[in-house]
Structure 1
Amino acid sequence: MSTPRTRTRLATVSALTALGALASLGTATAAEPRLNGEWGPFTRCPVDAPAMLAADGLAKTPQCVVSTSASGSIKLGKTTVVTGRTNLQMGIVQNADGTSSVVAPPSGALIADSATVPGGLLGLMCPSNVPVITAICKSLDNSTLNRITATVESVGAPYAFDQTAGILTDLPIVALPVRIHLENPLLGGKCYIGTAANPILLRPENRNYPEFGMSFFSGDGTPDEAGEMSRINLTGATQNDSVFSVPAATGCGLDVGLINAAVNAKTGLPSASGNNSLTLNDTRTHLSGLNAPGTVAPDAGKVLAENWHSAVG
């Protein structure tokens, strides 16, 4: 018969592997705290969120998750962008019935380096038979105004999290609503592919099984084989989603959509499912939680938060 600690670890592995699929482009945030030892990667865990603090350790168990990827690519319609460093962080509340819920940090689940769109504005909308666009195209040759950056932003909390899919391959793990911010002086400040009301909905899947490792530590992050905390480490997995659809770009050009048509025509948007893909290489995912959350019930969430804060500095 499996022990409660064994069952907790198995659930933890499920959550950890699943969220490893989500590392993708995101938005920049303010300076993050430095955490001691094994807590080091968990700089944005939402330990103070009401849902995390309310987790009692019996019916609900709180955990912290971070997943990173150094490289990857995203294809939207006719355009493929190479991604840089990415970082996903969130809390997971494991429920006694086997379900779980995702708690995103206040700043959103995703952060990452912005990516450069190949060809810039020239590649994105030129040539064009629209007079105003043609004039812009002529002014862009060899201009620094040509550069476009793309940043994927969360536009809602992740949902439909499936623990079982997290330890298997080729099954959707979670639904992640995002939008992509295209930035260039001539595009204005509100040029987006996807919106909060009509987001790009990523449902990543594992394409291979990650390598597994585990460590133990005290509440403040100091390594300790007899510590009250554990950290699971999964490395080397590749994740992919090739079934999401992509809506048209909006708000491009002086914030009134003057260049929407040119951007959408050149990029091939809107783009139906099957014409787009996300690939993330060598994801590295870590999950931390209390080894025996039931022993501190009903205060497991509070103890997790206290431990996290004790490691800051």
Structure 2
Amino acid sequence: MRTDSTSTSTAATTTAAAPRPHRLRRLLPPAAVAACAALLAGVAPATAAPAAAAAPGAPYTGMGNCPVAAPAMHDPSNLQVGCLVSVTNAGKFTLGNTVVPFNSPITLQFGFYWDKSAPEVSFPDGSTANQYTVVPPTSAPLLSAPMVQINIPGIQNYLPGITSVFAQVELAGPVTKFTPLATGEPYPVFQLPIKLHLYNALFGAHCYVGSDAAPLLLKPTTGSTAPAGSTPPMTGDPGTIGYDPDPNGHNALVISETNASLVDNTFAVPGANGCGLLGSLNQIINWTMGLPAAPGKDSVSFQQTNASFVLDTDIADLTAALGDSTAH
């Protein structure tokens, strides 16, 4: 999420110009900015090592499923490549008049790249941040979320799954517009399309709120949201920012975010679909949950999020950095 969400700023390397530190200057002392710029400048990429092991060590802990072998990560025109892992430990969804708590960790993990078109976003203070393309893992889910229980209003919950509903967040499309350096800005860290799979003995196997065609499009931010109408904004928190250069001499740089809060109340929630025989329970679920719900009536809060992402200018060097970390 921290996702991770997302963090501080970094250097943007182009093929014809010296690296630009971008937003690092706002969050790190001058000496750290110089060190980070030097790390990402890299006079020559390190010799490629064997593919990363399943469990890299610090500072790459949790990045073992990064898709470093994916073809998109090996495009020679990429200016930067990286990996992210984010774990959210608390929070909640508010969908219409229904609150869905997060009782267990939610994990996001993926790779990403910054291509030769060098996409950026600009912020009100005049600063900029790189916007990356997400590459999903090849041997693990991009999104891992626990199943949670929702009580049915007015019904005593004697038999979970019959007198209550279980719900699970599922991915409903690709994650896009990954902007990890939008730390504290009124701009989403990424766009995350999801659907909510509802389980009850009467609902059948294909009962959802949202779908691949009409997802809940979350745009969580560590800054402030801009909801429609008179709805007040929500404000997140970037948490504590840290950075770690590679301990083995590679050009990789890890940026971390600890105890961050990402929020969004700008998305709409569609009605239920596929619930009961021929959708016969859709309207009952909509009435019970207060759906569909327009933007401003729904919200999500990802609390206690710990995220880290690594940046490098060369996929061979990044792969080597992950692999070498297992020996230390």
**What is the TM-score when the length of structure 2 is the normalising length?**
0.69
Q: Which residue of 188, 203, 215 maps to 2:204? A: 188
Q: Work out the CA distance in 1 between the residues paired with 2:54 and 2:204.
A: 33
For 2:226, the equivalent position in structure 1 comes to none
Q: Work out the CA distance in 1 between the residues paired with 2:274 and 2:173.
A: 20
Native 8 Å contact 1:180 1:194 kept in 2:
yes
Distance 1:112 1:141, change over 3 A: closer
Residue identity in the other structure for 1:7 = R
Native 8 Å contact 1:155 1:179 kept in 2:
yes
- Please list the CA deviations of residues 119-167 of structure 1 after superposition, one character each: whole Å capped at 9, or x if unmatched: 1xx43xx68xxxxxxxxxxxx8622432422111111111234466x12
Native 8 Å contact 2:251 2:317 kept in 1:
no
- Structure 1, unpaired ranges of 5+: 15-31, 128-139, 218-222, 294-299
Q: Secondary structure at the match of 2:59?
A: helix
Q: Work out the CA distance in 2 between the residues paired with 1:8 and 1:50.
A: 27
Q: Work out the CA distance in 1 between the residues paired with 2:307 and 2:273.
A: 34
For 2:187, the equivalent position in structure 1 comes to 171
Shift of 1:74: 0.5
For 1:116, the equivalent position in structure 2 comes to 149
Q: State yes or no: 1:88 paired with 2:113.
A: no
For 2:273, the equivalent position in structure 1 comes to 250
For 1:103, the equivalent position in structure 2 comes to 135
Q: Secondary structure at the match of 2:84?
A: strand
- Structure 2, unpaired ranges of 5+: 1-10, 28-52, 121-131, 223-235
Q: Which residue of 51, 59, 66 maps to 1:38? A: 59
Distance 1:215 1:261, change over 3 A: same
Matching of residues 142-291 of structure 1 within 5 Å: 142-144=158-160, 145-162=162-179, 166-206=182-222, 207-217=236-246, 223-224=247-248, 226-254=249-277, 256-290=278-312
Q: Work out the CA distance in 1 between the residues paired with 2:12 and 2:310.
A: 19
Q: Secondary structure at the match of 2:213?
A: coil
Q: Work out the CA distance in 2 between the residues paired with 1:151 and 1:310.
A: 37
Q: Work out the CA distance in 1 between the residues paired with 2:184 and 2:310.
A: 21
Q: Work out the CA distance in 1 between the residues paired with 2:190 and 2:98.
A: 25
Q: Work out the CA distance in 2 between the residues paired with 1:103 and 1:161.
A: 10
Distance 1:232 1:161, change over 3 A: closer
Shift of 1:9: 8.1
Shift of 1:116: 1.6
For 1:137, the equivalent position in structure 2 comes to none
